[in-house]
């Protein structure tokens, strides 16, 4: 790994408006993706379909959810949606350390809020990976 690519921080980045707008964009896009992707598995579980059809429905729902989530935040923050992608952008020298940490916080909060909204809207139904 080339350490010369890693950018620690730029001056006055913490108070810059674009930094916070990009973090909010990552929050919203991650919320959209997690809500739609997890919600599709709960919705398919309630349908009486066979396993291959259910897998196709969930896969298509995940693809569309990721497309929308990346489209929402692409021009503002780069459309990372995933903390691993954010880390890759940081290591590659495309993000500063401060933005990377803010994006991680926004993405984690977005996924937690999406799960809480999903729990509220689905009446507390449990999503199980073993089904």
Within a domain: 8: no
Within a domain: 114: yes
Structural tokens at position 103: 């994006």
**Percent of the chain surpassing pLDDT 70:** 87
Name the domain count of the chain: 1
Backbone conformation region of residue 82, classed left if phi is above 0, alpha if psi is from -120 to 50, else beta: beta
Structural tokens at position 87: 């880390």
pLDDT in tens, 62-108: 999 999 999 989 999 888 999 999 999 988 888 888 889 999 999 99
**pLDDT confidence of 5, banded at 50, 70, 90?**
low
Report in angstroms the alpha-carbon separations of 105 from 2, 40, 54, 73, 111.
25, 25, 33, 16, 10
Domain containing 63: what range?
A: 22-121
Closest-CA residue to 76 (of 13, 24, 130): 24
Within a domain: 15: no
Within a domain: 1: no
Within a domain: 10: no
What backbone phi and psi angles, to 5 degrees, belong to 74?
Answer: -60, -45
Specify the CATH number for the domain of residue 117: 1.20.1080.10
pLDDT in tens, 43-62: 888 777 788 888 898 899 99
Within a domain: 39: yes
């Amino acid at each position: 790994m080339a350490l010369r690519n890693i950018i620690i921080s730029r001056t006055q980045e913490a108070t810059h408006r674009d930094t916070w707008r990009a973090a909010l964009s990552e929050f919203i896009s991650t919320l959209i993706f997690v809500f739609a992707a997890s919600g599709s598995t709960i919705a398919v579980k309630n349908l009486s379909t066979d396993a291959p059809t259910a897998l196709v429905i969930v896969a298509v729902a995940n693809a569309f959810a990721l497309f929308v989530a990346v489209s929402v935040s692409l021009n503002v923050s780069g459309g990372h949606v995933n903390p691993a992608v954010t880390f890759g952008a940081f290591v590659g020298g495309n993000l500063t350390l401060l933005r990377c940490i803010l994006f991680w916080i926004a993405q984690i909060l977005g996924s937690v809020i999406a799960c809480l909204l999903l729990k509220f809207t689905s009446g507390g139904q449990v999503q199980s990976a073993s089904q």
